[in-house]
Amino acid sequence: MSWGPGLRLTLTARLTLLFTAVLLAVLCGLGVMVTLANQAHFVDLDRDYLTDKAALVRKVVAGSPDLDQMSQRLQELLQSHTGLYVRLALGPQTLYGEEANTFPVDIMSTTGRLEPIDWPWDGSLLRGAAVALPAPTFLGGDAAPSLRLLLAMDMHHHTHFMEELQNSLMVYLLAASLASGLLAWWAARRGLAPLRDMRERARRVTANQLDERMPVGSVPVEMAELAQELNTMLERLQRDFQRLSEFSSDLAHELRTPISNLLTQTQVTLAQPREAAVYRDTLASNAEEFQRLGRMVSDMLLLAKTQHGLALPHREPVALHQATQALLDFFDVVAEEKGVTLVLEGEATIQGDRLMLQRAISNLLSNAIRHAPEHSRVHVSVGHTDGMASLCVDNAGPPIAPEHLPRLFDRFYRVDKSRTHLSTEGTGLGLAITRAIMEAHGGTVSVASTAQRTRFCLQFPAA
Amino acid sequence: MNILIVEDEPKTGEYLRQGLREAGFTVDLATRGNDGLHLALEGQHDLVILDVMLPELDGWQVLKGLRSMGRQMPVLFLTARDQVEDRVRGLELGADDYLVKPFSFAELLARVRVILRRGRPSQEVTALLLADLELDLLRRRVLRAGKRIDLTAKEFGLLELLMRRQGEVLPRSLIASQVWDLNFDSDTNVIDVAVRRLRAKVDEGFEPRLIHTVRGMGYVMEIPETGA
């Protein structure tokens, strides 16, 4: 993994961080909720407590015959409640309990219901509320101004509890995020294991070891598609590579024989003094062979270029019948020598490279004339079938065995293996070139052979 | 006629020089791009044969250098790479022709002669003559020793080409391209058959023989040197 310009994290690290961050956020939210719920719960509890105490005080106050008795009873009632502050007041006058400054001035509830508020006092936090009490009979009963009862409780055990809670929440949060981070890391690594497997396999792929494939069945669906694509790519590469290496070995093989011939011939000629005419003859023969070799190399290059999908040099409308007629004019002499009649019929125009197309057609024509018996007829028909332009070259001749038919378009494929190639003969690439040119045009070439006739057809895609 | 060859492959350069000299040209040879450019700017060459791949300056740069100095002599490129872009680039830069290696010397010689003939005022010939063979271009008639010979259109075209370029060895590919307008190297023996048939009509029964096969190179039309 590279740490290039800017921060590039591994996928595992990213997933781990993301997962941990999400979990942390969730846990924090949960912590806040727990805290708030607790506080709300404490408020409820405190209100109940204060309400309860207020009711008790009210009862004592109402049932007391005089102020002293009331004070005494209240004292008895409340002394066991530590942390509870009570003040009973009539106007500014304290009837019982704490001084006025213990409580804030605006504590009086206006709703008649106890509504506790919090305030700090003497180093601690108090929560309290105030309520109006009807004056007891010894102070004039209902007609007299009402008393004010102020209650407050020390909240130190609440705050203590809340602190404890927050501390333990914090500890839990830290522990949980650590644990979840580890878990996330483990899960991410486990989830990405197929990726590492693929990397390992990719590492093993070399020019000599192209049969390695990515796992498809054992990986998650998302990766299976990638693996599938990679496998298709590998297959394509393997096929191309195979073809390329076959190509090279074919070429080497095809070149070996003529080069060996040339070498032998030259060395034999040089071995002893000879007449000038013999030298001339040898050189001329060599030149012919060299020309054939040169042509073969050019053909191989053309084939290589066409097969590598190089774009056609030109693309223009080509009238097939006209292009063919020019070729027939060319081959006419040879055909006439054999008494073979060349017939052209029909017409069609396609998009393509004229020179390349003529080359493709010329290979078919030259084959047809070569294999046609004397005084027969080579028939070229141009036209449209199923909306596709086609050109067929049909000649009489001995049937081609079915096992040869699909391989006719392979380079250097010869039906008669034993036949030695003369320099006048083709390079063995003609039909392969025809096929390559057709493929470059998006078309196809096919062959059919019956007992009497052989028929090659070029088919062009609909324009 | 002065020709400058700029070719870094020593054997190729040497044989080209020899071949062109023997064909009657004065030839200079440079093996490096900048030497070639220097020679071309110094001398008076009618044609430069430039290899594309050269040490120091490559063929394109030499051509650019020449053109930027106002030298407009024709340039023929030799290239080992048959790439369309190369051809286009060469033609854009003002090359007159190109040959892809491996090429035959006969082909090169024929191209050189075509290029050198260009630009020269071509007199409108109406008749071509060689020994007792006469070609009437206007009436498209052929006479040998005063006797009328019937030729097909293509045969006439072939004879006209051989007559116009008499004394030059014409490679088969050039004949196919000039007479049949087929610009690819075909491995058929069509040209041989065509020449054989033409020869049967034009040379058979006459002396001297005018159409000759140069083995390994092509065909030439000339009056044979006596005693050769």
CA of A380: how far to CAs of A361, A377, A426, A453, in Å? 10, 10, 21, 13
Q: Looking at chain A, which residue has its C-alpha nearest residue B228?
A: A277
Which pLDDT score is estimated for B170? 92
Q: Could you tell me the domains of chain A?
A: 11-163 (3.30.450), 221-305 (1.10.287), 312-459 (3.30.565.10)
**Cβ pair B184:A291 closer than 8 A:** no
User: What average pLDDT does range B186-210 have in this prediction?
Assistant: 88
* B185 interface with A at CB cutoff 8 Å: yes
**Cβ pair A334:B193 closer than 8 A:** yes
Instruction: Please give, rounded to a whole number of angstroms, the shortest distance from the CA of B154 to a CA of chain A.
Output: 8
Give the residue from A290, A204, A210, A203 showing the smallest Cα distance to A244: A210
CATH class of B127-221: mainly alpha
What does B157-213 look like in DSSP terms, one character per residue? HHHHHHHHTTTSPBPHHHHHHHHS---S---SSHHHHHHHHHHHHHTTT-SS--EEE
Task: Give A70's pLDDT tier (boundaries 50, 70, 90).
Answer: confident
Rounded to an integer, what distance in angstroms lies between the CA atom of residue B36 and that of residue B43?
Answer: 10
Amino acid letter, residue A422: L
Kindly list the residues from chain B whose CB atom is less than 8 angstroms away from the CB atom of residue A308: none
Which residues 88-107 on chain B approach chain A with CB closer than 8 angstroms? 100, 102-104
Which pLDDT score is estimated for A416? 65
Rounded to an integer, what distance in angstroms lies between the CA atom of residue A451 and that of residue B46?
Answer: 61
Kindly list the residues from chain B whose CB atom is less than 8 angstroms away from the CB atom of residue A292: 187
Top-confidence residue, B14 or A10: B14
Q: Looking at chain A, which residue has its C-alpha nearest residue B194?
A: A333
Task: Give A109's pLDDT tier (boundaries 50, 70, 90).
Answer: low
* B176 interface with A at CB cutoff 8 Å: yes
Give the residue from B53, A18, B188 showing the smallest Cα distance to B62: B53
| Residue spans in chain B of domains classed CATH 1.10.10.10 | 127-221
pLDDT greater than 70 at residue B121: no
Amino acid letter, residue B75: V
Give the residue from A122, A134, A152 showing the smallest Cα distance to A47: A152
Phi first, then psi: what are they for A152, rounded to 5°? -145, 150
Homologous superfamily of domain range B2-117: Response regulator (3.40.50.2300)
| Residue spans in chain B of domains classed CATH 3.40.50.2300 | 2-117
**Cβ pair B197:A333 closer than 8 A:** yes
pLDDT greater than 90 at residue A342: yes
Top-confidence residue, A36 or A67: A36
| Secondary structure (3-state) at A4 | coil
Rounded to an integer, what distance in angstroms lies between the CA atom of residue A252 and that of residue A250?
Answer: 5
User: What average pLDDT does range A301-324 have in this prediction?
Assistant: 80
| Secondary structure (3-state) at A163 | helix
Most B CBs within 10 Å, among A281, A286, A291, A433, to test the B interface: A291
Give the residue from A44, A133, A128, A42 showing the smallest Cα distance to A90: A133
pTM (predicted TM-score)? 0.64
Top-confidence residue, A3 or B59: B59
Phi first, then psi: what are they for A412, rounded to 5°? 60, 15
pLDDT greater than 80 at residue A399: yes
pLDDT greater than 80 at residue A179: yes
Task: Give A311's pLDDT tier (boundaries 50, 70, 90).
Answer: low
Q: What is the mean pLDDT of chain A?
A: 84
Kindly list the residues from chain B whose CB atom is less than 8 angstroms away from the CB atom of residue A294: 102-104
| Range from A307-321, B13-27, B155-169, B187-201 carrying the lowest mean pLDDT | A307-321
User: What average pLDDT does range A313-324 have in this prediction?
Assistant: 87
Q: Looking at chain A, which residue has its C-alpha nearest residue B198?
A: A333
Which pLDDT score is estimated for A425? 56
**Helix or strand run (H / E) with residue A352:** strand A349-352
Which pLDDT score is estimated for A69? 87
Which of B190, B197, B216 is nearest residue A331 as measured by Cβ atoms?
A: B190
Residues 6+ apart with CB under 8 A from B133: B142, B143, B144, B163, B202, B210
pLDDT digits (tens, 9 = 90+) for A234-265: 888 888 788 778 777 877 888 888 888 899 99
* B85 interface with A at CB cutoff 8 Å: no
User: What average pLDDT does range A151-158 have in this prediction?
Assistant: 86
pLDDT greater than 90 at residue A146: no
